[in-house]
Amino acid sequence: MPIKVLIAVTWMQGHRIWLSGPLPPCTHGVRVRVRGFSSSREEVRFLDSSNEKGKTPHPNPPPGVPGGGDRKFSIRWFWAFLLIFCLSAAGCQTHLEKYEFVRPEMGTVFQVVVYAPDAAAAKRGADAVFARADELNALLSDYDPKSEISRLSRLTDSGPMTAPVAVGHDLWRIIERAVEASRRSNGAFDITIGPCVKLWRRSHQMGELPNPERLAEARKSVGWEAIKLFPETHSVQLLKPKMRLDVGGIAKGYTAMEMVRMLRERGLPRAMAGAAGDIAVGDPPPGKSNWRIAVQALEQPDKSAGYVELHNASVSTSGDTERYILIDGTRYSHIIDPRTGLGLTHRIGATVIATDGTTADWMSKPLSVLGPEEGLRLIESTPGAAARVVTIEGKQTKVYESNHWREFQSASVP
Ligand code: ADP
Ligand code: MG
């Protein structure tokens, strides 16, 4: 469609046609204006019917539309209107229906919502992106001993790696972004936290904290500075013994964004993908200017704390609402403080909006680890990002918002 409109604009040069946004529901991204009149369906019909009756000009032409006189001029306008009609009709022809798909992926449930011309197209798109999620899981899961990331980690079993090893495109992109995240958050986000996450999982099963020796041993293998990157060859060298990379805090956001990108590539740009905590959205649903996403309430996990409205962006929420361990009256979150190796004990939840899923996912961890003041500084220094943080101390709930949060917050409740 944009190409076609471009042709129309080129052809009509000198006749004051221009492009502008935002878009009416059926123009697929572009509104064409002719001398101040937007090409809504009605106007197009008017133009069409006048063309059908055609030979005589419209008796009451609207202002700015030539109504008669110069025959050459009229003929030119006739073709111009006909062309615009054809373009608009072509755009409006494709009626999009909403389709939803749900599948277990990455230890959780992923959902895809897509607007497609028919069920077959939607299913083809969904199958392709779920296959991609499977592929990413097979590369990035630390639960799977055969995954690329597990094999890389095992190279440190008998000591630091003595030489770099080339990794695939996806693993490289994730590790590179994760290292950048660690640098920006002063280590509050750290994918080398793997050995401590393993202890947390054991604590979850046993209902007891790891003994101090075990914890101390695990912490020796933690430290993002021990990841050495070789950008020219997409190679990685891990410089501590027994390191375990865990990308659970960044990979779902990356996957959700990948799924939306792939759907767009397949001609389905009006799509949403993700798991409960990590959601990516593409172009808005037909006739809407945004997707509306519910934000989970930290205090009441089954309730929403409101809605955000966004398109071509991602939103991630991290908190201890579902995954936590209660030991001797203390609640340990699944988000680990790399400084202690233990789950956070302060109650905090963070929702981050960012232009890409990887950023939204990782940033919700430092916000939780560092707390609202320091965490929100990170958000303010990130273009396109916004966040809302909730803390609970005793019976007191406090809400903190970044400067741009309100721009995404939905004013209305559905
Ligand atoms: P979800 O799994 O629902 O996406 P989160 O986005 O909150 O949940 O990510 C939590 C996961 O992030 C943990 O299970 C763990 O694998 C990882 N993680 C925990 N703490 C950190 C941290 N400080 N830095 C990086 N990753 C972390
Ligand atoms: Mg996440």
Closest CA to 364 of 407, 392, 334, 325: 334
pLDDT on residue 75: 63
Mean pLDDT along residues 76-89: 59
Q: First and final CA of the chain: distance in angstroms?
A: 32
Mean pLDDT along residues 51-58: 31
Query: If you compute the radius of gyration of the chain from its CA atoms, what whole number of angstroms results?
Result: 27
Does the pLDDT value for residue 288 go beyond 90? yes
pLDDT on residue 63: 37
Measured distance CA(158)–CA(315) in Å, rounded: 40
Residue of 365, 367, 374, 389 with the most ligand 1 atoms within 8 Å of its CB, for mutation: 365
Q: Domain residues of the chain, as ranges?
A: 2-93, 143-238, 290-414
Mean pLDDT along residues 48-75: 38
Mean pLDDT along residues 327-336: 91
Question: Is the pLDDT higher at 296 or at 59?
Answer: 296
Site residues for ligand 1, CB cut-off 6 Å:
189-191, 193, 197, 246, 248-249, 252, 277-278, 318, 334-336, 338, 361, 364-365, 369
Cα 102 to its chain centre, rounded Å, is 17
Residue of 193, 325, 346, 352 with the most ligand 1 atoms within 8 Å of its CB, for mutation: 193
Measured distance CA(199)–CA(194) in Å, rounded: 9
Q: Which atom of ligand 1 is nearest to the CA of 188?
A: 23
The token pair that represents 152 in the structure block: 């890389």
Phi, then psi, of 194 in degrees rounded to 5: -40, -50
In 3-state terms, what secondary structure has residue 99?
strand
Closest CA to 340 of 251, 209, 243: 209
Residue of 334, 364, 374 with the most ligand 1 atoms within 8 Å of its CB, for mutation: 334
Please provide the average confidence, as pLDDT, over all residues in the chain: 82
CATH T-level topology, domain 290-414: T-fold (3.10.520)
The token pair that represents 215 in the structure block: 């914890």
Q: Which atom of ligand 1 is nearest to the CA of 194?
A: 16
pLDDT on residue 321: 75
Nearest protein CA to atom 11 of ligand 1, as residue:
249
Instruction: Find the angle CA(372)-CA(374)-CA(379) to the nearest 5 degrees.
Output: 80
Question: Is the pLDDT higher at 28 or at 258?
Answer: 258
Q: Which atom of ligand 1 is nearest to the CA of 250?
A: 6
Q: Which atom of ligand 1 is nearest to the CA of 178?
A: 25
Nearest protein CA to atom 16 of ligand 1, as residue:
248
Lowest mean pLDDT, pick from 25-29, 95-99, 102-106? 25-29
Centre of ligand 2 from the C-alpha of residue 253, in Å = 6
Nearest protein CA to atom 2 of ligand 1, as residue:
248
Q: For residue range 198-254, what is the model confidence (pLDDT) as tens digits?
A: 999 999 999 899 999 999 999 999 999 999 999 999 999 999 999 999 999 999 999
Closest CA to 359 of 102, 186, 185: 185
Instruction: Find the angle CA(161)-CA(165)-CA(166) to the nearest 5 degrees.
Output: 165
**Full DSSP string of 113-124:** EEEESSHHHHHH
Q: Detail the DSSP E strand segments found in 117-158.
A: none
Q: Which CATH number fits domain 143-238: 2.60.40.10, 3.40.50.300, 1.10.3980.10, 3.90.1300.10?
A: 1.10.3980.10
Neighbours of ion ligand 2 (CB under 5 A): 252, 277-278, 361
Looking at the DSSP bridge assignments, the partners of residue 103 are: 110
Q: What is the pTM of this model?
A: 0.79
Mean pLDDT along residues 22-42: 28
pLDDT on residue 47: 26
**Angstrom distances, CA of residue 81 to CA of 61, 69, 73:** 13, 17, 12
